[in-house]
Amino acid sequence: MRRREFMAGLGGAAVTWPLVARAQQSAIPVVGFLNAGGSDTFAHFLVAFRQGLADAGYVEGQNVALEVRWAEGQYDRLPGLAGELVQRPVAVLVSGGAAPAAVAAKRATQTIPIVFSASDPVRLGLVNSLNRPGGNATGMNLQTGELEAKRFELLTELVPKAGTIGILVNPTSLTSEDRVRALRGAAAKIARQIHVVGASNEQELHDAFQSLAQPQVGALFVASDPFFLTLRAQIVTLARHYSLPAAGERRDFALAGALLSYGTDLVEIYRQLGRYTGRVLKGEKPADLPVMQPTKYDLVINLRTAKALGLEVPHKVLALADEVIE
């Protein structure tokens, strides 16, 4: 081969090789990660999701890519963010943080596989049944309603003199009415009253606490919601200002100074979502993958807060605690 022809061939190869490399890189599956919460608060859950993916044999940057979208507690953004990921397009759409994220994902696509975390997915129309989802979605049933009833009971045990419990809910949540209905039932069983206030932004949060500043309101129950988890420091500060013992869902609330927290271990849940996503990437269909149930729950008691409020924590409650903050 003449030198000129050889150099021309090299020139052609120099153009082709990067194109081939890009084509190979773009061939790896893309997973869309849609979350109703904020990037700062939920970042460690994304780490857990990546760990679950790795357990299933998928490592970001090697054989899978991630497209991440955060709604930062603004649920009206979820449909647009879900639409972006569907148009990307992604091989699997993962939704987390709250029911609105799962519903937005389901409304955005009937064909792309969805792996969700949400409470009561059958009622929300995400699946036909827990054992046989039957459509393009499966994931984790968070069982939030059942766990909130237990958390309400724990709060009343720690604050036995509170005749009325303040209930803080996010009115933009798809499940807020169900939560309030369940808590009314739980309160009636133990002859307690509840005072419900709503907040979906910071100004409404301050207004809600002013409404709670009543002599008969003796404690605060914070309903499960990514928005409240993002603003847990403000909520705990306001609760302290109004001398309200507070109970939140996640351990982060107790660490921030709430009296107690009780709920599912979200880190483990996101690992499980990563593992399920890996199974879907390998070809299993969501229709055939039963919706998972949580198996690990955390009760955290903040004794420092209890002492500051002049509360005695019963020994039986301390014995149940997974963690005690002193």
Pair (23, 158) in one structural domain: no
Is 46 part of any domain? yes
Q: Per-residue pLDDT averaged across 299-316, rounded? A: 96
Pair (39, 71) in one structural domain: yes
Give the pLDDT score at 26. Answer: 53
By percentage, how much of the chain surpasses pLDDT 70?
Answer: 92
**What CATH number does residue 102 fall under?**
3.40.50.2300
Q: Per-residue pLDDT averaged across 271-281, rounded? A: 98
Is 1 part of any domain? no
Pair (240, 253) in one structural domain: yes
Q: Is the pLDDT of residue 4 over 90?
A: no
Pair (123, 14) in one structural domain: yes
Is 3 part of any domain? no
Q: What is the pLDDT of residues 100-112, one digit of tens each?
A: 999 999 999 999 9
Q: Is the pLDDT of residue 28 over 70?
A: yes
* Number of domain units in the chain: 2
Pair (229, 272) in one structural domain: no
DSSP 91: S
Contacts of 289 (CB under 8 A, 6+ apart): 133, 138, 276, 279, 280
Residue with tokens 């169900």: 178
Pair (115, 241) in one structural domain: no
Give the pLDDT score at 95. Answer: 97
Q: pLDDT category, 273, cuts 50, 70, 90? A: very high
Q: Per-residue pLDDT averaged across 66-93, rounded? A: 96
Pair (19, 117) in one structural domain: yes
Q: What is the pLDDT of residues 36-65, one digit of tens each?
A: 988 888 899 999 999 999 999 999 999 999
Distance CA 122, CA 133 (A): 9
Pair (269, 302) in one structural domain: no
Q: Is 188 exposed, middle or buried (0-12, 13-18, 19+ CB in 10 A)?
A: exposed
Domain containing 151 equals 144-264+297-325
Is 2 part of any domain? no
